[in-house]
Amino acid sequence: MQETGTAKGRIMEITLEPCNHMTELFALLAGYVMNRFKLFPEQTAAAVSRLVTLVFLPALMLYTFMGECTVENLQDAHCSGDV
Protein backbone atom coordinates (compact mmCIF):
# COMPACT_ATOMS: atom_id res chain seq x y z
CA MET A 1 0.00 0.00 0.00
CA GLN A 2 1.09 3.58 -0.44
CA GLU A 3 2.87 5.63 2.14
CA THR A 4 0.31 7.37 4.34
CA GLY A 5 2.52 10.41 4.86
CA THR A 6 1.83 11.69 1.37
CA ALA A 7 -1.32 13.51 0.32
CA LYS A 8 -2.17 10.82 -2.21
CA GLY A 9 -1.78 8.11 0.42
CA ARG A 10 -4.04 10.01 2.81
CA ILE A 11 -6.72 10.42 0.12
CA MET A 12 -6.62 6.68 -0.57
CA GLU A 13 -6.95 5.98 3.15
CA ILE A 14 -9.95 8.30 3.46
CA THR A 15 -11.57 6.76 0.38
CA LEU A 16 -11.05 3.12 1.33
CA GLU A 17 -12.25 3.37 4.93
CA PRO A 18 -15.96 3.90 4.05
CA CYS A 19 -15.69 1.22 1.35
CA ASN A 20 -14.60 -1.31 3.98
CA HIS A 21 -17.59 -0.44 6.16
CA MET A 22 -19.99 -0.60 3.22
CA THR A 23 -18.67 -4.07 2.35
CA GLU A 24 -19.31 -5.25 5.90
CA LEU A 25 -22.80 -3.77 5.85
CA PHE A 26 -23.53 -5.41 2.50
CA ALA A 27 -22.38 -8.81 3.82
CA LEU A 28 -24.67 -8.48 6.85
CA LEU A 29 -27.59 -7.43 4.68
CA ALA A 30 -26.98 -10.31 2.25
CA GLY A 31 -26.91 -12.78 5.14
CA TYR A 32 -30.17 -11.40 6.51
CA VAL A 33 -31.89 -11.63 3.13
CA MET A 34 -30.65 -15.19 2.56
CA ASN A 35 -31.91 -16.22 6.00
CA ARG A 36 -35.22 -14.39 5.57
CA PHE A 37 -36.04 -16.15 2.29
CA LYS A 38 -34.68 -19.51 3.49
CA LEU A 39 -32.17 -19.79 0.64
CA PHE A 40 -30.08 -22.30 2.60
CA PRO A 41 -31.07 -25.41 4.56
CA GLU A 42 -31.16 -25.35 8.37
CA GLN A 43 -27.84 -27.24 8.66
CA THR A 44 -25.97 -24.42 6.92
CA ALA A 45 -25.43 -22.44 10.13
CA ALA A 46 -23.80 -25.40 11.85
CA ALA A 47 -21.63 -26.15 8.82
CA VAL A 48 -20.47 -22.53 8.49
CA SER A 49 -19.76 -22.37 12.22
CA ARG A 50 -17.60 -25.51 12.02
CA LEU A 51 -15.82 -24.13 8.95
CA VAL A 52 -15.02 -20.88 10.74
CA THR A 53 -13.86 -22.68 13.88
CA LEU A 54 -11.79 -25.39 12.23
CA VAL A 55 -10.41 -23.59 9.14
CA PHE A 56 -10.69 -19.81 9.10
CA LEU A 57 -9.72 -18.96 12.69
CA PRO A 58 -6.59 -21.15 12.69
CA ALA A 59 -5.63 -19.69 9.30
CA LEU A 60 -6.10 -16.16 10.66
CA MET A 61 -3.97 -16.97 13.71
CA LEU A 62 -1.17 -18.36 11.52
CA TYR A 63 -1.37 -15.38 9.17
CA THR A 64 -1.19 -12.94 12.08
CA PHE A 65 1.69 -14.77 13.72
CA MET A 66 3.66 -15.09 10.50
CA GLY A 67 3.27 -11.37 9.81
CA GLU A 68 5.13 -10.51 13.02
CA CYS A 69 7.51 -13.46 12.97
CA THR A 70 10.35 -12.16 10.83
CA VAL A 71 14.05 -12.92 10.99
CA GLU A 72 14.73 -9.39 12.27
CA ASN A 73 12.13 -9.66 15.04
CA LEU A 74 13.44 -13.04 16.12
CA GLN A 75 17.05 -11.82 16.13
CA ASP A 76 16.09 -8.70 18.09
CA ALA A 77 14.21 -10.78 20.66
CA HIS A 78 17.05 -13.25 20.96
CA CYS A 79 19.74 -10.60 21.30
CA SER A 80 17.79 -8.58 23.85
CA GLY A 81 17.06 -11.66 25.98
CA ASP A 82 13.27 -11.54 25.58
CA VAL A 83 13.06 -15.24 24.72
List, for residues 49-73, the tens digit of each pLDDT value: 999 999 999 999 998 888 777 788 8
Do residues 35 and 49 both lie within one domain? Answer: no
- pLDDT tens across 5-49, in order? 688 888 888 888 898 889 999 999 998 999 899 999 989 989 999
Separation of alpha carbons 8 and 76, rounded Å: 34
d(C-alpha 12, C-alpha 23), whole Å:
16
Asked if residue 45 and residue 33 are part of one domain, the reply reads: no
Same domain, 19 and 46: no
DSSP string, 11-53: HHHHHHHHHHHHHHHHHHHHHHHHHHTT-S-TTHHHHHHHHII
Nearest to 34 by CA among 44, 25, 24: 44
Q: 62 is in which domain, residue-wise?
A: 41-83
**Maximum Cα–Cα distance across the chain:** 59
34 and 52 part of one domain: no
Answer yes or no: do 18 and 30 share one domain: yes
